[in-house]
Amino acid sequence: MTALAQDDITLLELVDRVLNKGVVLAGDITLSVADVDLVYVGLRVLLASAGTLDRLANEGAAA
């Protein structure tokens, strides 16, 4: 398996927090955040860089 470099682990930590946590204000007033499954998108990008995109796509579909 392609291991993520140290920088990537930090990025994973970051994405896990920044895209997955924090206050979500969905509604008419906000434009973007409500509508995008950020976690899935963000993690998919990280995975793609680790060369295992297909596997996540499958797991995501099954989840």
Partner 1 sequence: MSASATQTALYVYGVVALRDVPSLEQDPAVEIVQEDALAAITRVVSLDEYGEDTLRENLNDREWLEENARAHEDVLLAVAAVADVVPFRFGTICRTADDVRALLAEQRDALTAGLERIRGCVELGVKLWADRDRVEAALAPQEPAAESGRAYLEARRNEQRRAADIQAMCNEVARGAYDRLLRLAVAGVVNRPQPRELTGRTEDMLLNAAFLVTAGDRSIAEEVERLDRELRDLGFSVEVTGPWPAHNFVAAEGEAE
Contacts to partner 1 by CB under 8 A? 1-4, 8-9, 11-19, 21-25, 27, 29-33, 35-36, 38, 41-50, 52, 55-56, 59
d(CA 34, CA 28): 9
Contact assessment for residue 51 and residue 28, using Cβ atoms and an 8 Å cutoff: no
Closer CB to partner 1, 27 or 61, in the complex:
27
> Which DSSP category does 26 fall into?
-
Contact assessment for residue 12 and residue 62, using Cβ atoms and an 8 Å cutoff: no
> At its nearest, how many Å lie between partner 1 and the CB of residue 25?
6
> At its nearest, how many Å lie between partner 1 and the CB of residue 8?
7
